[in-house]
Structure 1
Amino acid sequence: MARALMIQGAGSDVGKSLIVAALARAATRRGHRVLPFKPQNMSNNAAVTIDGGEIGRAQALQAQAAGVEPHTDMNPVLLKPETDIGAQIIVQGRLVATVRAREYAAMKPSLMAPVLESFARLKDRADLVLVEGAGSPAEVNLRSADIANMGFARRAEVPVVLIGDIDRGGVIAQLVGIKTVLDPEDAAMIRGFVINKFRGDPSLFDDGYRLIETRTSWRGFGVLPYFARANELPAEDALGLAGARKAAQCKIAFLALSRIANFDDLDPLKLEPCVDLVMVGPGEAIPGDAKLVIVPGSKSTRGDLAFLRAQGWDIDLLAHHRRGGHVLGLCGGYQMLGRSVQDPEGIEGPAGETPGLGLLDVTTVMTPQKTLTRVTAVHAATNRPIEAYEIHIGHTDGPDRARPFASSDGALEGAVSSDGRVYGSYLHGLFASDGFRGSFLARLDIPATDQQYRARVESALDALADHVDAHLDVEGLLALAR
């Protein structure tokens, strides 16, 4: 039976996911069989697993760090928000319900059983299971039904290390405050802490570090400097793409939809030296000098069509196209580019039909069945191979489907407009295929490097593991696992 260690955060976005990935790579390099686990995640950035389900993208990256294929047991509960108060509930890779927040709160206690079931299966297959918490254990108002932090740690008897983010300030209050508000039995599960994202001379925090140890009685496992190559790794938040701007020859814009999904499709583009990747936020105009505008995936196609129009982006897109610009719609973005999106059964919200942008002569009808599959395809225009995955509901058809974006095992995929400047595809992760990415950009007169994207991610994971080995007591952290 494997040992396990849980990494929780003093708050959201403190670096839990990357520290788990770093420890997974570091422990794997020491000869351990490592598997990642997150009981509950909330993200519209999902990956398709080897067993044909879906999990959070962060757990897929952690699996890569451990040198294993992602599996649905690594993230048994995934919440995919569709509105501000409602979300799809994915359990062990499969959609089981779409509920409002209050309904989920009532449902949550019943989900501890599949969480513990998935965790037990992972422990049977590993030497070490690295567990990532969600949010913060300081949310004690949610403790009674918790399956993501101390509720899980107590039931599974997994020791905890807390991560504090010093970059955002107040890290002493975060950690000491958590010890203060936690139930004593919950606090006893915490064996130590790590200070993350430090900039400058770490010795300047020596007094603060000792104060935390004294006030909490928890052991410190080190101060981790800010990891400069973090932008080379897929992020869980699309805001990570906002920092991709650079002086470059060619501008590619993408729309920051309100329910943007699978935005890591764009990660390989942000690393191209000649590409200035521009995130167009609410209230901003699409840049007039963009060569390509990408309408990304969405968890709520009709809802984001309304959001898109509210920003005036529909007018901007038509103007961009009239100027000779190119448009690429991915998944939900592909559906939006068509003539209409029909949802007769109310799968994504109230039943009805929403006019599309009309840039592709296709129509989408939402259907209850969700497509979850890995795909090997060939790009029609360049004959370049694409390794990708599909994760969507709805069926799209129409005259422009006669000009496919790609083909897979003889089946036509996606659509291209009659003028050849508007493309739609259900293929996620397509730009990670180096040959396709280079050829696609070349057709837009955008110079591309010969860099290998997956190799670059592997290099960044190795560098991340080196980083934690250099600054944290990794042997001490791994010794905590039980």
Structure 2
Amino acid sequence: MIQGTGSDVGKSLIVAGLARAYVRRGLRVAPFKPQNMSNNAAVTADGGEIGRAQALQARAAGLAPSVHMNPVLLKPQSQVGAQIVVRGRVAGQASARDYQAWKPRLMERVLESFAHLRASADLVLVEGAGSASEINLRVGDIANMGFARAAAVPVILVGDIDRGGVIAQIVGTRAVVDPLDAAMVRGFIVNRFRGDPTLFADGMTAIERLSGWPSLGLVPHLPEAAHLPAEDALSLGAKASATEGEVTVAAIVLPSIANFDDLDPLEAEPGLRLVLVRPGEAIPPEAALVVLPGSKTTIADLGALHAAGLHHDLAVHHRRGGAILGVCGGYQMLGTRLRDPHGLEGPAASVDGLGFLDVETILTATKSLAPVSGLTLPGGIPYRGYEMHVGETSGPGRGRPFGTLSDGRAEGARSADGLVAGTYVHGLFTDDRQRAALLRALGLAPSALAFERRIEDALDALADHLERHVDLDRLLTLAA
């Protein structure tokens, strides 16, 4: 089990890199995260949802994503706490305090999923959540040491030197955790080192002496890791390309943004300059396209957009002849009306939309979760992606669909002037053909970027990197 001294220390990518490295050694590897908290989710083949990081780890291991790889997924909702997803299906919602009462009964489901994966794998790589030293959450824990103890899984602790204080991170964890929890730790890894590693040799020795845990590796910063999808919205700050690109694309980042990896292929395109616009900032006047991404709480985010005055910016952008694309929650916001009669996102509400598309949406308890494929219109450009949404959208604008699904059904909507479009399809621009069509529409020649190939190359580079800097043979002998 790979646990961390804190959030965003690199646990997810360490697990992905180890999965790819051990698969290349001929082992059957499965990733597992007992409990995840993220609004960046992936759809499994059986119509469930799991954390995006576990889908990437499954890809690294050469497996199709399964709901058993992340049996408990918490999706924050600003108005009602978090939505609780158990084995891919919504099981309820709870505040952070009320969720504590869920944990005992969830542990049984977690252990069942772990056993399911373990039965068909040589090695299960388990990822912890947040910090191993959150002793205030230790009672009933299912995400870190509580799971490790219940499943008798040895732990490797990862610290992040890039954020500073890594000696205190690791030694401090040893100081505060219960002695029986500390005994589960078999070693530590220091991640994201920059510079001459010999200058930190004394630091590694000090950590070993003060913690009593052996070092398994000092991992230098790997630039290629930036090519892999991030799970935490906090990483969005690194996604905006500040100066490069002939054409500017702006993406509006609202408080409950979800499935934001839809923006990754746009950020990767050398001809595009991606600008992230948050409340309090303005849409760049030179933007050719504005993207409204998905949202976990669409009505609340629509309110945040209005409060920031971004609806005025969008209207000005449209009057100038600029294009607008709404994805999922962004699509719903672009309509004339948004209704939540059952209070799924908070208090029951019915609000005006932005009015760019002649459609309205009613939020429903049934959640659409499915891989999809089809053709975008006009032009009939093929795509593959997935749907993950609550809500049924209808209205005259649906008569001008964004595209068609593989079964012939119309999907999404377009405005009469052709400048505004909405779709429920996530992952649209991971398809090189779709990005090529977008570039042509923006007046650019298609690039040579093969986005999916770039992810595979980055996973291979990460595996090579860990082979060089982590004692993978010793780590394997520690596995129970």
Confirm or deny a common fold (TM above 0.5): yes
2:80·2:93 contact (CA, 8 Å) conserved in 1? no
Aligned mate of 1:107, from 102, 105, 110: 102
Task: Return the offset for 1:450.
Answer: 2.9
In structure 1, the residue matched to 2:441 is 443
In structure 2, the residue matched to 1:206 is 201
Cα distance in 2 for residues equivalent to 1:278 and 1:112: 42
Aligned mate of 1:413, from 400, 411, 414: 411
Alignment of 1:110-125 (within 5 A): 110-125=105-120
Cα distance in 2 for residues equivalent to 1:85 and 1:335: 20
Aligned mate of 2:377, from 374, 377, 380: 380
Task: Return the offset for 1:98.
Answer: 1.4
Q: 1:247 aligns to what SS in structure 2?
A: coil
In structure 1, the residue matched to 2:313 is 316
In structure 2, the residue matched to 1:366 is 363
Task: Return the offset for 1:7.
Answer: 0.1
In structure 1, the residue matched to 2:121 is 126
Aligned length: 477
Alignment of 1:131-280 (within 5 A): 131-243=126-238, 244-245=240-241, 246-280=243-277
Answer yes or no: is 1:430 the counterpart of 2:428.
yes
Task: Return the offset for 1:448.
Answer: 2.9
Letter of the structure 1 residue corresponding to residue 45 of structure 2: I
Cα distance in 2 for residues equivalent to 1:280 and 1:156: 44
Task: Return the offset for 1:310.
Answer: 1.3
Cα distance in 2 for residues equivalent to 1:166 and 1:282: 32
Q: 1:291 aligns to what SS in structure 2?
A: strand
Alignment of 1:333-372 (within 5 A): 333-372=330-369
1:200-244 deviation line (CA, Å, top 9, x unaligned) = 001101111001001111110111001101221100123434323
Q: 1:173 aligns to what SS in structure 2?
A: helix
Deviating more after overlay: 156-165 vs 214-223: 214-223
Task: Return the offset for 1:382.
Answer: 2.3
Letter of the structure 1 residue corresponding to residue 425 of structure 2: L
Q: 2:98 aligns to what SS in structure 1?
A: helix
In structure 2, the residue matched to 1:480 is 478
Letter of the structure 2 residue corresponding to residue 228 of structure 1: P
Q: 1:196 aligns to what SS in structure 2?
A: strand
Cα distance in 2 for residues equivalent to 1:389 and 1:81: 21
In structure 2, the residue matched to 1:20 is 15
Aligned mate of 1:42, from 4, 25, 37: 37
RMSD in angstroms over aligned alpha carbons?
A: 1.0
Cα distance in 1 for residues equivalent to 2:236 and 2:159: 23
2:43·2:388 contact (CA, 8 Å) conserved in 1? yes
In structure 2, the residue matched to 1:293 is 290
1:171-194 deviation line (CA, Å, top 9, x unaligned) = 111110111111111000000000
Cα distance in 1 for residues equivalent to 2:389 and 2:289: 23
Aligned mate of 2:454, from 448, 453, 456: 456
2:279·2:310 contact (CA, 8 Å) conserved in 1? no
Answer yes or no: is 1:401 the counterpart of 2:398.
yes
2:249·2:287 contact (CA, 8 Å) conserved in 1? yes
Task: Return the offset for 1:85.
Answer: 6.1
Task: Return the offset for 1:248.
Answer: 1.3
Structure 2: runs of 5+ lacking an equivalent: none
Task: Return the offset for 1:170.
Answer: 0.7
Cα distance in 2 for residues equivalent to 1:419 and 1:108: 51
1:237-286 deviation line (CA, Å, top 9, x unaligned) = 23434323141111111011100000001111111001111111221111
Task: Return the offset for 1:35.
Answer: 0.5
Letter of the structure 1 residue corresponding to residue 313 of structure 2: D
> Percent identity, aligned pairs only?
59
Cα distance in 2 for residues equivalent to 1:208 and 1:119: 36
Cα distance in 1 for residues equivalent to 2:409 and 2:144: 44
Letter of the structure 2 residue corresponding to residue 382 of structure 1: G
